[in-house]
Amino acid sequence: MVVYSPIAATYGSRIEQFVETESDFCKYHDKLNVKLRHLRHRCKIITKDTRKYSTKEKYSKITSDDYDKKNKLFGALVLMHSERDLSFAEAIKLRIRQRGKAKGSEQKLLGTRLKKAYKTSQNLLEITKNEGQWITRAQYLAYAKIVHAEYLIFGKKVKTKNNTLITKELALALAACTFLKDKEILPTEIIDYLNTKYEYTLTQYGDRITSSIDLNNFVSKTVEAGKDNNDELAELLFKNGYITKVEDVEMEKSPINNKIEWRAFNCKIKDNQIAQLINDVSAVQVKDIADYSSKLSKWENILSKQHENMARQVNEELDADEDENMDNEENEEILLAYIKFQTIFTSISRDASLFNKLWKQWEKLGSSMSSKLTKYKEIERIVKNLKSYLKEVTELPGIYSDDELIFQLELSMDYFQLYLNAGCLASLYQSKGKYRESLALYVHSHQTLQEKLQVQQNTELIKLPEDLLTEQALTKLNNLIKTGWNSVVALAEYEKELNTSYIVKKYQPTVVEKIDSLSVRPSDVHLNNLFPLRPIVKPVGAKPTLFDLAFNYIEYEEDIQTKANNNETAEKKSISVDQSTPEDQPAKKRGFLGLFGR
């Protein structure tokens, strides 16, 4: 039996149409207008005579009898009216969040739309009060509770939010939707969407909800309390097999650190869930490069929640004291910068581990130039990513004014770039015989590193996350540059002398090249002319060509006799052809200019 699903008709449509941004909600709002026009036609409530419209319109006069006896589409019609107002409110919220504050009368318009959506949803419950299908009725109730919670949070202007009522409405709605998912009535995608959207709100307005276990226990207890208070949705759930599941929570928990001391800044984490998440991700042990991806996703999740928290506070603190708002805003900005710093540095630590792994592979490479070039490109890509991330860190609020930290971040950028130049690129030039270019890279790397070390000489290195840069690492890089420099300096000097002598005698062969073909005189022997520094490969004939040329002029006796016989035969044939041609045959007239003949 097909059962109408109000949740699938609203939130399911949002998921199917990928409604996420402000423009998406505006398009969704327009589609709802079209759908409402069709529903009015099918329900036959179109009023063409607009004179004294308030006395003739039929929409506000819809009753439960119309829904029960005439058409069930009356319920869908009222539902879409509420959804249209709610989608418009979502577009306004996204616009305010992007801008960071409400502009003009946007906050008032948001409250008006949410209040209208709430009243429409209550009218929907009144119209469908006799609905016999419990699945449809439960979804109408769940949708109305979500709209009510939205109105209490964002629409109703009060100094103190009714946290108890907000959490009660959301908990009952989420419990009903999860129960319908377990019965395979609602798809998992819709439940995941609702959980992602409203679980964080529950932790914000709920009491001591810091983990998923706390959240599940809170929802179960709320449904039980709703049954005791004769809540229709709770009674409907228990009547159809709902079972509460309360999990045991460990009594002894490690204390949650809700304070951040970061460089010269201090801030307090006022959101319990964010504090718990930061404590959890700080305790993650990284054993492999793949573990960084999990850690990075957790920091990104915390960053997203902090953005949502700050956007919500912008809407909620419009009537609060201005000084209190400034202090709270500064606290949240410090926390946001700290979370961004940790998120970016997780990416830096991951790429630094990749760099170390690739460097070990580089050291084990043989003399194959193709494999060296491939590995060099991989290392170069990682170094570019590292420099980009480090540059992004230097632009964070609170970082660009910290001279010591800025210097160490710049030193880290130079560290990875010098490893690429001196360790990889100079080695490639040396392998190709370009010793002067290789020496130039070593010299430049040495000068750059020494300049940085002289500035850093009197100060200790700041301990960055994951020990990104240490004194031992800088010493190792310095030794690498000196070793490479010593290995190429003599060859570079010899190449310079050789190229200088070639300016006068550019094509003078060396002693080794003269041994096989030319005579070697004592005056030809010099230290800079013993062997070619860059041997020249010249083409050599594959076989002697003298016989090929002479073959065209060689004739043998048998070939001469055969050629003479062929000539005699050809002469006889030509004579017989001439005799057979009639001499008296008149010539044809060719016509004018040879064009018109007979």
pLDDT of 387: 92
Reduce the DSSP state of residue 130 to 3 states and report it.
coil
The mean pLDDT of 315-321, rounded to a whole number, is 53
| 140-154, 454-468, 579-593: which is most confident | 140-154
Residues 6+ apart with CB under 8 A from 299: 281, 339, 342, 343, 346
Determine what percent of the chain is predicted with pLDDT higher than 90: 29
Q: Which two tokens stand for residue 226?
A: 């709703």
Largest CA distance in the chain: 138
Task: Flag the least confident range among 60-74, 83-97, 160-174, 511-525.
Answer: 511-525
Task: Please report which confidence band the pLDDT of residue 594 belongs to, taking 50, 70 and 90 as the band edges.
Answer: low
pLDDT of 348: 92
Cα 93 to Cα 99, 108, 343: the distances in Å are: 10, 12, 26
222 vs 172: CA distance, rounded Å: 7
Q: Is the pLDDT of residue 584 over 60?
A: no
67 vs 170: CA distance, rounded Å: 27
Q: Which amino acid is at 36?
A: L
- The CA angle 91-93-97, to the nearest 5 degrees, is 115
Mean of all residue pLDDT scores within the chain: 82
Q: What are phi and psi of 533, to 5 degrees?
A: -70, -35
Residues 6+ apart with CB under 8 A from 158: none
Asked if 237 and 175 touch (Cβ cutoff 8 Å), the reply is yes
Domain ranges of the chain: 6-49+57-239, 266-433+448-485
Tens of pLDDT, residues 273-283 = 788 888 888 87
Tens of pLDDT, residues 86-101 = 999 999 998 888 777 7
The mean pLDDT of 341-362, rounded to a whole number, is 90
Reduce the DSSP state of residue 562 to 3 states and report it.
helix
pLDDT of 310: 81
Task: Please report which confidence band the pLDDT of residue 413 belongs to, taking 50, 70 and 90 as the band edges.
Answer: very high
84 vs 90: CA distance, rounded Å: 10
The mean pLDDT of 392-399, rounded to a whole number, is 86
Q: What are phi and psi of 412, to 5 degrees?
A: -65, -40
Give alpha helix (H) positions in 457-551.
Answer: 471-504, 511-517, 546-550
Q: Is the pLDDT of residue 483 over 80?
A: yes
Task: Please report which confidence band the pLDDT of residue 561 belongs to, taking 50, 70 and 90 as the band edges.
Answer: low
DSSP H or E segment with residue 146: helix 134-150
pLDDT of 41: 92
Class of domain 6-49+57-239: mainly alpha
Tens of pLDDT, residues 2-56 = 789 999 999 999 999 988 888 899 999 999 999 999 999 999 888 887 787 778 8
The mean pLDDT of 200-208, rounded to a whole number, is 80
Task: Please report which confidence band the pLDDT of residue 255 belongs to, taking 50, 70 and 90 as the band edges.
Answer: low
Closest CA to 215 of 178, 160, 255: 178
Q: Which two tokens stand for residue 70?
A: 């005439």
Residues 6+ apart with CB under 8 A from 452: 411, 414
pLDDT of 46: 87
Q: Is the pLDDT of residue 543 over 90?
A: no
Task: Please report which confidence band the pLDDT of residue 319 belongs to, taking 50, 70 and 90 as the band edges.
Answer: very low
Tens of pLDDT, residues 432-473 = 888 888 888 888 888 888 888 888 776 677 777 767 888 888
Q: Record the pTM.
A: 0.52
Closest CA to 106 of 161, 158, 150, 155: 155
DSSP count for the chain of H helices, then E strands: 23, 2
- Per residue, what are the HEC states of 219-287? HHHHHHHHHHCCCHHHHHHHHCCCCCCCCCCCCCCCCCCCEEEECCEEEECCCHHHHHHHHHHHCCCCC
